Structure 1
């Protein structure tokens, strides 16, 4: 009996070596259950505590996964009641882009150009529409990113979470859905092309990137759409310039 319990627990463990982040892996597991009919429309997702125990992940990972499921139109969350599965559309077309499709230096540059257009407008909308709750979520994501100065292995996921919270605050689920479908690979891949001097393990470089993030947050906090758009353009354009030639 104990052996069966251990096997069941192992079956639920997330793959921690994909480079896509635990939240992404948890989303994929829950999507399998939803799309496979194990959790039907109208049914409630398991509580956060149950998911934390089942998949051996933190509350932050669970909440991020549920946020991405919301962005994908698969669940709806009600304050104090939990998250419920929505009825699936008859036909579903999902934008997806795997890391393997970014094959060249040109592809990485083009992806950054794409992000500038996408995220600058999302930040502008976030500055105009964000709620205090959403602003607090962006602020927490920024603080979480700052803390990765002591643990650079978490920097990619924390960086992505910051950008995703801004997209969520835009009030337009398609920004969140599109950025969420890209996943942390949009942060990770450009970094594989950077000179060693631009590693986030380098204190000077980390401070510069953190300041760029702070400028974005500050513009959103003061409800300055043009300032937010400009701050995102500066941040991502700087990332583009830092790439190896």
Structure 2
């Protein structure tokens, strides 16, 4: 595949675009390039995609870009990720149906709109999770929280652990559609919303993550105690706080 190389404003990154492609987010370019390889048969059903490090070296992008690209492919139903093993192709044609333009998620107003969708979706998933969760699913939530705590201590952004926590709630709801919708909406939004909140609110990342972690603990406690209404309220408050932070960002941008 022939490529064109364009330098971006972000030091150390280089976007590898297809001929004639418009300038777009690096993660969108990477997910599109991988999707075309899947469609073209270079990666068949059941094949493992190159590792994160291999993609970093081939496309000269950051680990965050690779993870966002894989998340987009997973959300569209083209790949499945397996803990410790990587991403595997599950189909060769992009799934049709509900779709949000990933590029538009860079706009703060669109983040707020998608958060409103997540509030409706995940608060009800929390209710069902409190009623239906198994000990194993509760352990998965606790494991994700422990990983987030460890990531914060290491000075990392803890995005993957954050997603794992919310995904565990969606899974504990016992309805596969909740999980499918979260995998689509949640994985596209969480990294962007977090970055935008921290950047525009000028909040130290460690302080921001500690606050998020306290909100997660309240959600998990309510699900552990099998209190559906408390779980709903805690999760709604958590995402509503994220929405409020982004709305403050909009106000700052408008002044």
TM-score, normalised with respect to structure 1 = 0.62
How much does 1:54 deviate?
A: 3.8
- Say whether the 8 Å CA contact 2:79–2:88 is kept in structure 1: yes
How much does 1:95 deviate?
A: 1.4
1:107–1:38 CA distance, 2 compared to 1 (3 A) = closer
How much does 1:146 deviate?
A: 1.4
Contiguous gaps of at least 5 residues in structure 2: 1-11, 16-24, 58-65
1:103–1:83 CA distance, 2 compared to 1 (3 A) = closer
How much does 1:235 deviate?
A: 1.2
- Residue of structure 2 aligned with 1:118, choices 115, 121, 126: 121
- Residue of structure 2 aligned with 1:177, choices 157, 181, 184: 184
- Say whether the 8 Å CA contact 1:39–1:85 is kept in structure 2: yes
CA distance in 2, matches of 1:187, 1:116: 16
CA distance in 2, matches of 1:54, 1:242: 36
CA distance in 2, matches of 1:210, 1:139: 12
Q: SS where residue 127 of structure 1 aligns?
A: helix
Instruction: Note if 1:51 corresponds to 2:56.
Output: no
Structure 1 residues 82-161: aligned runs within 5 Å: 85-88=89-92, 92-93=96-97, 95-98=99-102, 100-104=104-108, 106-161=109-164
1:29–1:118 CA distance, 2 compared to 1 (3 A) = farther
Match of 1:37 in 2: 41
How much does 1:187 deviate?
A: 2.9
How much does 1:77 deviate?
A: 8.4
How much does 1:214 deviate?
A: 0.6
Match of 2:20 in 1: none
CA distance in 2, matches of 1:224, 1:26: 42
TM-score, normalised with respect to structure 2 = 0.60
Match of 1:200 in 2: 205
1:53–1:239 CA distance, 2 compared to 1 (3 A) = closer
CA distance in 1, matches of 2:74, 2:233: 28
Contiguous gaps of at least 5 residues in structure 1: 1-14
1:93–1:154 CA distance, 2 compared to 1 (3 A) = same
Match of 2:195 in 1: 188
CA RMSD in angstroms, aligned pairs only: 4.5
